[in-house]
Structure 1
Amino acid sequence: MPEDPFDTDGRYDLASLERDLPAAVTAELADYLAGRRRDTVEVAEEFAEATDDLARFVLSGGKRLRPTFAWWGWRAAGGLDEPGTVLRAVSALELIQGCALVHDDLIDDSATRRGEPTVHARWDRRHREARWTGDPTRFGAAVAILLGDISLAWADDMLHEAGLDPAAIARARPVWQAMRTEVLAGQFLDVRGHATSDSRPETALRISRYKTAAYTVERPLHLGAALAGADDATVAALRHYGRDLGIAFQLRDDLLGVFGDPAVTGKPAGDDLREGKLTLLVALTRAHPDRATAAVVERTLGDPDLGADAVAAAREALHTLGVVDDVEARITELTASALDAVRGADAPALAPPAPERLADLAVAATRRVR
C-alpha cells in the first residue's frame, strides 16, 4: 500500500507525498476521472463505457514524468503552499499525455502500447466481434480520435478546476497554451517529415524537441515554476534543463524503439523500424557514406511484416555504421548540459531538494530500459 500522503489535519504532507509522487498523481487522476464518469453517464451509458476505456488507459501505466517534472519546477521555484491544489493541477498533464498517445498510436498504426492493444485496435476488434455495420478499422480510428479529444478537453478542465488562485492561473495560462500548440506542431512536423521523406538530422532533432521534449520536460517544468511565481533566471535555467534533457529522453526512446526488450518495453522488437519512424538514428544512417551497410537498415523501414532476422541485421548495421555510438554521445552531452543549467557554477539558486531531485530525474530519463 502506498504511504498515506496526508497529515493528521487532512492536509498533504510534502515528505510523504514526494516519496511516491507517481502514486499520488495516479490517485488524483482516479478521483477526477471518477467524477467525470458521472457526467458521461448522464449523456449515454455507451459513452461512459467508451470513456471508461480512456480512464483505464490513463490509469494503467506510465511513469507520470510530466506531473513529476512540473512538481519539481514548482518546488525549485520555492513552492510550498497548497500542495494538494498544485498536485491536482499538474496531474492534468497526464491527460495531455493520454491524448498524445492515443492519437500517436493511431497515426503510427501501432497495434500495442504497454503490452496491451492500442485504443484504436481495441475498438476495431470490438466492432468485428459485435458484427456491427461499416468498416471496423475506420470505426476504431474514429473512436480513438474522439477519446483523444476528450482527454485533451478534460486536461484543460482539470487544470482550471484544481482550485488555483487567479494569479497562478494567469501565470500558467501562456505556458499551458504554448505546450499544447508545441506538441501538436511536433506531431504535424513528424507526419510531414514522413510524407516529404525529410530525414535530415536537424529535422529529426526539431521533431524531437517539439513532439516530445517540450511537453515532456521543458514546459512541465516551466508550468510548475510559473505556478510558484518564479523569476526569469529560474525559468530560463529550468527551461534549458528541460529542453536538453527532453531531447536526450527522446533519443533514448529512439534507441529503445530499435534495441529495446519487448518484455520490458511492451512493444514488439524493432517496432520503430517496422513503423518507419524518421528518428535521428535513421537520419544519421541516411547521411552515412557507407551506403551498402545503410541499405540494410533502409530495407527494414516501414515493413509491417519485418521479422526477427531482419531486425537483428538492422541492429548490427546500426552499430557498424557508428550511429548508435553517435546517439549515445549526444544523450551524454545533452544530459551534462541539462545538469549544468541547474547545478553548475552559473546556475540560479533553486530551492532544495529540487537540484538533487532534478539530477535523479535526469538519470532516470536517460538511462531507462523502457
Structure 2
Amino acid sequence: MTVIDAVRGDLAEVRAQVDATLDRFLVEKARTAPDPCLPPLVEVLREFVAGGKRLRPMFCHCGFLAAGGSPDDRAVTWTGAALEMFHTFALVHDDIMDRSALRRGRPTVHRVLAERFLGDHHDDGTSAERFGVSLAILAGDLCFTWTDEMLDRAGVDHARWREVRALLHTMRTELIAGQYLDLGGDPRSTADPVRSAWRIIRLKTARYTVELPLRIGAALAGGDAAVMRACGAYGRPVGEAYQLRDDLLGVFGDPKVTGKPDLDDLRAGKPTVLMALARQQATPEQRAVISALHGDPELDEEQAERLRDVVVSTGAAARVERLITIRADRALGALRSSSMDRAAKAPLAELVAHATRRAR
C-alpha cells in the first residue's frame, strides 16, 4: 500500500465514523421524538444526510491531528458530526433560497417533503410547493438545534470548549453574511462585482469549509497560536480554490456527476468570480450577451451554451483555472513550512488535491 492509499484510507475512516455517528443520532431522534409527527421528518433528513462529502469533519480531524490530538479521540468525531449537521441546516435552507430541485443527485428536502407528505394540494388549498418549503425550513431549524446537542456530547475539556464555541459562533455568523451577499442583499456589491464575489467566497466557503473547521479541530486538541496561524495560511487558499472549482462546475459540470442541475447558477445570476471576471474581460458584444442571459430565470439549454461560449471566449474560465492552481500551490507551500504535527500534513496535502481537482 502506498502512502497516498493509506492517507485516503484514513480519510475514508473519518468519513465512515461521522456517517455512523450522524445515523445513530438521527435514529435516536426519531425513536425519542416528543410527538409522532416528527419521525417522518427526521427520516427525510436521515436520507438527505447520507452521501455527503464530509469535508468539514475531515478538515476538523486534520486540525485536531495538526495540534497533536489522537486520531481515536471521540471528541473530534462528535464535533465533526456536529459540523456536518450544521452544514445540513445550511444546505436545506440554501436550496430553498435558490429554488433548487436537486442536491447530490436526489430531490432537495423541500421537494421531497412536498411530494411525500402532501401530494398535489393540501385540504385547505395550500400548494404542495409552499407546504414543502415550510416543512423544510423547520427541518433545517431542527438541524441547527441538534448541532449544539451533538457538540455537548463531544465531551470537550471546559477550557478548550470556550474556544471551540467561539469559533463555531464565528463560522455561523460569517456563513449567514456570505449568504446575504450571495442573494444580492448589499447594494454596494454592484460597484465592484469582482471584489464582491471574492467577499462571498471568503465568507461563505473559504473560512466556512476549510479554515474554521481546521481551527475548531486544532482548538479541540489545545493548539497554540502557531498552529492556528498555519490553519489560516493553509485553509484560506484551499477554501478559495474549492469555491472557484465549484463556480466552474456550476457552469460547465456534468449534472450526472455533480448531482446538481447545470442551469441553476446561470438562471439565478449567481455573483461568482467566474462571471464577474467574464463581464470584466468581455467585449461590448460579449457583455451584452452576459447581461441578457445571466440571471434569466427562463434560460434554456441552447441559450446556456451560448453563455458558456462567451465565458470561455473572454478567457475567464482559463483565468479561474490559473487562480485555482496558484491557491493550491500556496496552500501546499504553507503546509510544508508549517509547525503542524507531521500526522496532519499528508492528509491535508491529499485534501488540497481533492478540493481543487474534483469533478463534483
Identity %: 43
1:149 aligned onto 2:147: no
Cα gap change, 1:197/1:222 in structure 2, threshold over 3 Å: closer, same or farther? closer
Residues 93-128 of structure 1, C-alpha deviations (whole Å, 9 max, x = no match) = 111110110011111111111121111222233424
Q: Unaligned 5+ residue runs, structure 1? A: 1-13
Corresponding residue SS for 1:229: coil
Is contact 1:269–1:311 with CA below 8 Å preserved after alignment? no
Over 3 Å counting, the alpha-carbon distance change for 1:81 and 1:135 in structure 2 is: closer
1:102 partner amino acid: V
Query: Is the 8 Å Cα contact of residues 276 and 302 (structure 1) preserved in structure 2?
Result: yes
Cα distance in 2 for partners of 1:257, 1:97 equals: 19
Q: Tell me the SS of whatever aligns to 1:45.
A: coil
State the partner residue of 1:227: 220
- What's 1:282 paired with? 275
Q: Please give the per-residue CA displacement for 1:49-82, whole angstroms capped at 9, x wherever unaligned.
A: 11221121112x2110000000000001110175
Rounded Cα–Cα distance in structure 2 between residues aligned with 1:77 and 1:21: 17
Question: Which of residues 332, 335, 347 is equivalent to 1:342?
Answer: 335
With a CA cutoff of 8 Å and minimum separation of 6, indicate the structure with the bigger relative contact order: 2
- Please report the RMSD computed on the Cα atoms of aligned residues, expressed in angstroms: 2.1
Find the partner of 2:46 among 55, 61, 67.
55
Match of 2:349 in 1: 359
Q: Residues of 2 paired with 1:219 and 1:357: CA distance? A: 17
- Deviation of residue 179 (structure 1)? 0.9
Moved more, 141-150 or 186-195: 186-195
Aligned position for 1:166: 158
CA 1:79–1:183: 2 relative to 1, 3 Å? same
The 1:203/1:178 distance shift into structure 2, 3 A limit, reads same
Residue 237 of structure 2 corresponds to 244
User: Does the CA contact (< 8 Å) of 1:114 and 1:266 recur in 2?
Assistant: yes
Find the residue that maps to 1:273 and give its secondary structure. helix
Q: How far does residue 333 in structure 1 lie from its aligned partner after superposition?
A: 1.2
Aligned residue identity for 1:89: T
Distance between the aligned counterparts of 1:194 and 1:261, measured in 2? 32
Instruction: Label 1:354 to 1:81 Cα distance change in 2 as closer, same or farther (>3 A).
Output: closer
- Matched to 1:145, the amino acid is I
For 2:168 and 2:127, the matched residues in 1 are separated by 37
AA partner of residue 129 (structure 1):
D
d(CA) in 2 for partners of 1:106 and 1:291?
Answer: 35
Q: Which moved more, 1:137-146 or 1:259-268?
A: 137-146
- The aligned length equals 351
Note closer, same or farther for the CA distance 1:318–1:15 as it changes in structure 2 (3 Å cut): closer
Kindly tell me: are residues 287 and 193 of structure 1, through their superposed partners in 2, closer, same or farther at Cα, counting changes over 3 Å?
A: farther
Task: State how far apart, in whole Å, the 2-side matches of 1:102 and 1:19 are.
Answer: 25
Task: Please report how far the alpha carbon of residue 26 of structure 1 lies from its aligned counterpart in structure 2 after TM superposition.
Answer: 0.3
**Do the aligned partners of 2:180 and 2:186 also contact (CA within 8 Å) in 1?**
no
